[in-house]
Structure 1
Amino acid sequence: MWKFLNKKSNEVEKTNVDFDINNIPKHIAIIMDGNGRWAKARNLPRTMGHRAGVETLKKIVRECSDLGVKYLTVYAFSTENWKRPPEEVGGLMKLLVEYLSNELRELYANNVQIRTIGDVSKLPKPCIDILDKSMHDTKDNTGLVLNLALNYGGRYEILRAVKNIFKDYKEGIISEEDILNIDDNKFSGYLYTGGIPDPDIIVRPSGEERLSNFLLWQCAYSEFWYSNINWPDFSIENLHEAIADFQNRDRRFGGVKSGKNK
């Protein structure tokens, strides 16, 4: 049983999940799915589901920071999400501004560093402004790195990397030989996540069991954890369950089974 400290109430809370605090995943990625279904089940507008999802994000960010997770990447808005109704898209953008405006002080105080992945230049100006401020204000923090995937798509990211490699070749930054000898590590440096280790585990609530164009290159050896819980109902205990499950996986990376789970 793992105890965790609720910093706001200064009380120690418990979950019924047994996991090893010394074997926490370095990088957790989450597809925050199920906000709309959560709202529909309650006869509420979808925007209320997204707002409830933000409250869940606050709890999970705080807990990941407390547990010593180094990187948390959350799928907040995909390149495909522009297809949604304009009022829903507008509501999501306002929520982003509201979240960062309200939480920046606490994130800074808890040593969280904010980064983004995706083409954020296409977001509305208020979003870009608050993202720039948030990243600038937290750039020297050394705790949890919170990666917000915004206007992000895995296929676009890979295509962008190839184009940037060609651009560097045309500008004489790299040679033809460099391109011919490029390996996984060098290619990864051209991705949005360059310099960040691949996710150890990708968590997707809401009952869907697909990647939805998320971290397609980076997920090659990630573990996957699915649940039927909609994101607004995702709890600290669910996070602990995912971590405990991860710790019981036999990660072989293409090798043979270890003695652990034979």
Structure 2
Amino acid sequence: MTTESATSLHPEPQGIDIAAKLNWLRAGVLGANDGIVSVAAVVVGVAGVTTNNAPILAAGMAALVGGAISMALGEYVSVSSQSDSQRHLIAKEREELREQPDEELNELVGLYRAKGLSEDLATKVAEELTAHDALRAHLDIELGIDPDEIVSPWHAAFASAISFLCGAVLPMLSILLFPEALRVPLTFVVVLVALAITGTVGAWIGGGSRARASVRVVIGGAAALAATFALGSLLGTTGIA
């Protein structure tokens, strides 16, 4: 099989690795974005009720820890389902190869013919790949699965929690370290700038409009902050809280 034919049948490994890394990066950006917005909304809302650092810190820490655990748990459940499905498909393919190897070989030949190879070349490719690693050959062309790269729910959960925490720390530090008279407006500014950055990075990864993505997340974040601060101020002035 020529180098050109091999390249047309199988994407460059580097391309697969880059795609996987970009997916992880995208998930990290989204996790950080969630951490920024959710924790900022909580601390700004509490700051609307009181200027005392203690309740702001307590509420912020609760939102930070609870949000990180929630993100990690959600990612773990989602990725666990994906990895279970991948393992099931691998086991099913392995069983089919054991019980009906000839039919599976013919299926592989048909798949390569569908890719545009001639009958002779498709047969040669299928036979050589089957002799080398039949399971990997079928998983690759049929399902696009690499048996060595099954997604790990633990890795996904850890990455999601860390990205959330990284985003959440920013509004926590802003609301606690800025002077009392300026803490809320300066926290608004810091958070919105951070959201503009995450929106830009997310759009760059996805290949979309960076300006449009930044505007969307900034408007959404500003609305969340304004709503919680207004609610906190209302509760504080009415004496309910």
Q: TM-score, normalised by structure 1?
A: 0.21
Greater fraction helix:
2
**Larger Rg over CA atoms:** 2
Greater fraction strand:
1
Q: TM-score, normalised by structure 2?
A: 0.23
